[in-house]
Amino acid sequence: MMTFEGLGIDARLIQATDELGYVNPTAIQEQAIPVLLSGTQDFIGLAQTGTGKTAAFGLPLLHIIDAAAKYPQALVVCPTRELCMQIVKEIELFKKYMTGISVVAVYGGASIGLQIRDLKRGVQIVVATPGRLIDLIERKAINLEQIKYVVLDEADEMLNMGFQDDIEFILKNTPKRESTWLFSATMPAEIRKVSKKYMKDPKEVTVGKVNTANKSIDHQYYVTTAQHRYETLKRIIDFNPGIYGIIFTRTKLDAQEISERLTREGYDIDALHGDLTQGQRDKVMGQFRDKTLQLLIATDVAARGIDVQGITHVINFELPDDVEIYTHRSGRTGRAGLQGICISIVHQKEMYKFKQIERINNSQFHKMDIPTGKDVCRKQFFAFMEKLLSADISHGDYETYVPMLAEKFAEVSKEDVLKRVAAMEFDRFLKYYENAEDLNARERDRSTREPRGQENGRRREERSSEGGRGDSRAEYSRGGGSGYSRLFVNLGTKDGFFKASFLQFVLDMSDLKKEVLGKIDMKDMNSWIEIEKGAAQQMIRSLDGKNYKGRRIRMNDADSGGPGGFSGSGNGSRRPRRGEG
């Protein structure tokens, strides 16, 4: 039997694994560790969760990291925050007897401010989810220049979740990468492609049964509120620039109305429903087949018998009542050996129905976060860059124009040209998504959902009757703060904050959106913050007990024991929600 000593890892790591009760290495550890200890060999490990793969990459990483160099040397990218935390937890256990090595987890849905601070402490191993990592790169809060080792954990899941561009971006932006270690439970074609493009002669190891036939349809769902269904649909479409898909509605009126609305907003879509003549129907179908139309919106009856190849996405604008109909709809994609995605936009109240479909359909459905405005812009940007780079310049007589162009652009830097091209292409998206709101129906909203939903509706009506841009803070206070909590915090202007920087600070720490805040009242030493009830605990959890410039932050509900009473006027400005302005 192989032992950890036999694999050649550091004695301090062996001491830790001993303590954890690891007697012998698992199959993936046995095959991966000797290869990975070299630090220069690319590696693919096909292994499911539970096979010990975290130690298979975690132990060699700790062995080869330079503890004296206080900058990120290894990057582990994984699909979810849970996995991110779990990996860090295990690495912490493994490095118990090593000194000078730090590891940090960075993932979405948590305070980016704290994560940035952690990164500044000189960590060597960063464990990240792709979205948050890109955010940090954009904020210049992390430098990938010196990264030597990139580990992609659960690579298939990351691609399923739409992170392909992000992964490629990360791989392209680690210039000093000496090796890439990819772990995946399955080996779909996309992973092969990524590995071919970014890895050099990877050593491939398979442990246990690998599902190479990977189910051809990925079932995904997005949970939103009833009033955000249409916006969610738009965001899904915008997040998938290459989409070629069918959207299903329950009624022909919906199909017609959504099609008209999307067409007005510049989307390439037409409707198929029972009221069309055969001629009209053939015309629409012809265009869709030719791909002159990118999207088709249809009722179940009208779509019966459609067999079009290459459909990338089926979207259920609403869930059908019948499981069988769901199966028919989703079966339009993932044909002829191609991968397809079936997306359902689900209202929280429909979850029971959804669970039923999931059970009977016997597939695992993946809950997805509705992309933020920033996610959409990034995705569009990547797609645009791809388009730009793959433009065919082999035909036209472009050479003739080059000297002319060169002269015209002599004064403009390459970066500026790129920025201008991007601005031309992205203006619409950037403007539209600048203040995009979070469309996800959050679990934590549940306790206050009904009353808050009603109150929001009422507020919106009030605002629109006032001409659109009411000062919502005034309304919160007018309503006696119903739906809002008031938090006390022992930070104030004496801490060097102005209102705007204070606002930014609490939002960064708590990863909440500006929209949840009401009135802010700042004094020298203390401040009071009005915040939507559903978000109050998250803010308290994120700030209370943390340190600010060496001082312990105290934050609590002002109306349950803490200091209270608004005494200032509080006149920060809130940006109008989309549709208000």
Under the rule (CB under 6 A), what is the footprint of ligand AMP? 22, 25-26, 29, 49-55
As measured in angstroms, the least distance from the Cβ of 50 to ligand AMP is 5
- 301, 380, 579 from 426: Cα distances, Å: 38, 8, 20
Q: Which two tokens stand for residue 34?
A: 């000797």
As measured in angstroms, the least distance from the Cβ of 57 to ligand AMP is 9
As measured in angstroms, the least distance from the Cβ of 49 to ligand AMP is 5
As measured in angstroms, the least distance from the Cβ of 152 to ligand AMP is 15
As measured in angstroms, the least distance from the Cβ of 26 to ligand AMP is 5
Percent helix, strand and coil across the chain, each to the nearest 5? 45, 15, 40
Backbone angles phi, psi at 157, to 5 degrees: -65, -40
Closer residue to ligand AMP, CB minimum distance, 22 or 239: 22
Closer residue to ligand AMP, CB minimum distance, 23 or 424: 23
Q: Hey, which residues does 308 pair with through a beta bridge?
A: none
Q: Which of 405, 551, 578 is nearest to 489 (CA)?
A: 551
Q: Which helix (H) or strand (E) holds 484?
A: strand 484-489
Number of continuous H segments (helices) and E segments (strands) in the chain: 23, 20
Closer residue to ligand AMP, CB minimum distance, 59 or 436: 59
Closer residue to ligand AMP, CB minimum distance, 149 or 528: 149
Closer residue to ligand AMP, CB minimum distance, 54 or 526: 54
Closer residue to ligand AMP, CB minimum distance, 34 or 576: 34
As measured in angstroms, the least distance from the Cβ of 133 to ligand AMP is 21
Beta-carbon contacts of 569 under 8 Å, excluding residues fewer than 6 positions away, are: none
Q: Which helix (H) or strand (E) holds 505?
A: helix 499-510
| Residue that the structure tokens 């459909």 belong to | 311
Q: Which of 26, 87, 46 is nearest to 203 (CA)?
A: 46
CA distance 250 to 260: 16
Closer residue to ligand AMP, CB minimum distance, 29 or 102: 29
**Burial class of residue 68 in the structure, from the number of CB atoms within 10 Å of its CB (0-12 exposed, 13-18 middle, 19+ buried):** exposed
Neighbours of 563 (CB within 10 A): 12
Q: Which of 404, 362, 364, 351 is nearest to 224 (CA)?
A: 351
Closer residue to ligand AMP, CB minimum distance, 57 or 221: 57
Q: Look up residue 403 and give its amino acid.
A: P
User: What secondary structure letter does DSSP report for 456?
Assistant: H
As measured in angstroms, the least distance from the Cβ of 28 to ligand AMP is 8
Structural contact between residues 442 and 511, judged by C-beta atoms closer than 8 angstroms = no
As measured in angstroms, the least distance from the Cβ of 181 to ligand AMP is 13
As measured in angstroms, the least distance from the Cβ of 160 to ligand AMP is 18
Rg (CA), the chain: 27
Closer residue to ligand AMP, CB minimum distance, 21 or 175: 21
As measured in angstroms, the least distance from the Cβ of 20 to ligand AMP is 6
As measured in angstroms, the least distance from the Cβ of 143 to ligand AMP is 28
Long-range pairs for 352-358: beta carbons < 8 A, 24 or more residues apart: 353/319, 353/321, 354/221, 354/319, 356/323, 357/319, 357/323, 357/326, 358/219
Closer residue to ligand AMP, CB minimum distance, 77 or 543: 77
Closer residue to ligand AMP, CB minimum distance, 52 or 334: 52
Pairing of β 217-224 and β 295-299: unpaired
Q: Which two tokens stand for residue 163?
A: 């992170």
